[in-house]
Amino acid sequence: MGMKKFIFLFFMIGFVGVGKCQTFTLADTSVQKFDMLRVYHIQFYLAKSDIFPNSYPFLDSLADFLNRHQEIKVMEVRCHLDTRWVAESSIRLSGKRAFAIVDYLVQKGIHPNRLIPMSYDDSKPLISDQEINEMKTDAEKNAAHYLNRRIEFVIMELGE
């Protein structure tokens, strides 16, 4: 019973978290300013900015998307962590991770002026620490922390 509850909660939190903010997909043919793509499957080595190789296919797809959509002049790459990090290292780590994503995309042919790395560390959680602390199981708490660790791609400027 506990595991079923966890899976349901994780699904619901994930659905609400993605559904409210994801306004474009890599298959979309038109985009608007401030559209956002929120992803969780870009993974890094623990406490490092090195990207896991299993994240490369998604990043390659994003590079293809940006190449197809030259009208996207500026996109922010926002890196968020959860609150289980020490504040001083959190801002540095999320910044390094955002830069790592930008570096990867630049290596795939995206002009560096089109990408702005942003470090939000744990300052903009989707689920507050208070809400997490009120959860009954460690599995629920871990799922909530997982949702706070995310990368968001936000279109900041469009052109012709």
CB 27: neighbour CB atoms within 10 A?
7
Output the pLDDT for position 66: 97
Helix (H) or strand (E) holding 75: strand 72-80
Tell me how far apart the alpha carbons of residues 110 and 113 are, in angstroms, rounded to a whole number.
9
Domain encompassing residue 105? 2-158
Cβ neighbours of residue 145 closer than 8 Å, sequence gap 6 or more:
82, 83, 84, 132
Q: Which residues of 125-159 are buried (b: 16+ CB within 10 A; e: fewer)?
A: bbbebeebeebeeebbbebbbebbbbbbbbbeeee
Contact status, residue 147 vs residue 13, Cβ threshold 8 Å: yes
The enclosing domain of 10 has a CATH number of 3.30.1330.60
Considering only residues 85 and 131, tell me which one the structure prediction assigns the higher pLDDT: 131
Tell me the helix, strand and coil percentages in the chain, rounded to 5: 50, 20, 35
Helical pair 138-148 and 2-21, crossing angle rounded to 10 deg: 20
Tell me how far apart the alpha carbons of residues 136 and 2 are, in angstroms, rounded to a whole number.
10
Token pair for 48: 């490092």
**Mean pLDDT score, 115-137:** 78
pLDDT tens digits for 69-100? 999 999 999 988 776 665 566 678 888 999 99
pLDDT tens digits for 4-35? 443 333 333 333 333 344 467 888 888 889 99
pLDDT at 3 over 60: no
Token pair for 107: 């290596």
Token pair for 37: 């793509």
Token pair for 130: 């208070």
pLDDT at 42 over 70: yes
Count of the separate structural domains present in the chain: 1
Q: For a pLDDT cut of 70, what percent of the chain falls above it?
A: 74
**Where residue 119 falls among pLDDT bands split at 50, 70, 90?**
confident
**Mean pLDDT score, 125-153:** 77
